[in-house]
Structure 1
């Protein structure tokens, strides 16, 4: 008599690794493009609409340059271009490693549960970063003008 496969049986490890590896590919392709096509050279990417409209750096300004610098191993340049993005990329890398580990071991994928207070705190920190990088005292936090 053949035993029916158990409904609770875990899928094979290669199948469990599919989603994290797909996510890695989805991040790698644009990162390679940014590594090759320098955002510091004018004309390759559109200008930030917020910067164009207001003359202020938004919290995302310098993000492409940050990724370009990280792809070339320039951590200090990446921090200069967009420090919060470097922090975000580090957090996402840790979460991705935990996701891969969970896929290999058969555990649950990590979850991000930020309550309303923490989202407000993140928003306030980004607002403070935006204001400071646009003041003379925070000029070191602003990417260079092209």
Structure 2
């Protein structure tokens, strides 16, 4: 007597480009439709508890400014984004190419830079780093 075995087909794997496109489309819908219609954004729990700005405070407003092509105001909300974004691209490329020592050093540098930025933007001497609106 023979047994018939059924093998389930492998699920299709989506390419990273497809996943990135879905993520970008979702983000665009959030920033261009949800936020303007509802005014509901993601609050910063760190700022709510401590009153201090974290390294990410102002990123939502910066992205909204970028979507309106207001580069200056986006920079005022969170200048760290403009520094870390190109550095992260370099990190991703070097990590993908197997340059582990360089990519790990770059990631450590970005982490230290983020922590320093988050700390400094809360002191009066560095108030220009806080997320603010142009006068």
Q: In structure 1, list runs of 5 or more residues that go unmatched.
A: 1-17, 99-109
Task: Give the CA RMSD over aligned residues.
Answer: 3.3
Partner of residue 13, structure 1: none
1:80 aligns with 2:68: no
Partner of residue 44, structure 1: 40
Partners of 2:85 and 2:116 lie apart in 1 by 20
Match of 2:96 among 111, 114, 119: 111
**Partner of 1:61: helix, strand, or coil?**
coil
Which structure would you say has the larger RCO, counting Cα contacts within 8 Å and 6 or more residues apart? 1
What is the number of residues matched between the two proteins? 115
* Matching of residues 59-138 of structure 1 within 5 Å: 59-90=55-86, 111=96, 113=100, 114-115=103-104, 117-138=105-126
Q: Rate the CA distance shift 1:22–1:71 in 2: closer, same or farther, 3 A.
A: same
Q: In structure 2, list runs of 5 or more residues that go unmatched.
A: 1-14
Q: Rate the CA distance shift 1:22–1:70 in 2: closer, same or farther, 3 A.
A: same
- Contact 1:35–1:67 (CA under 8 A) maintained in structure 2: no
**Deviation, structure 1 residue 81:** 0.9
* TM-score normalised according to structure 1 size: 0.61
**Partner of 2:55: helix, strand, or coil?**
coil
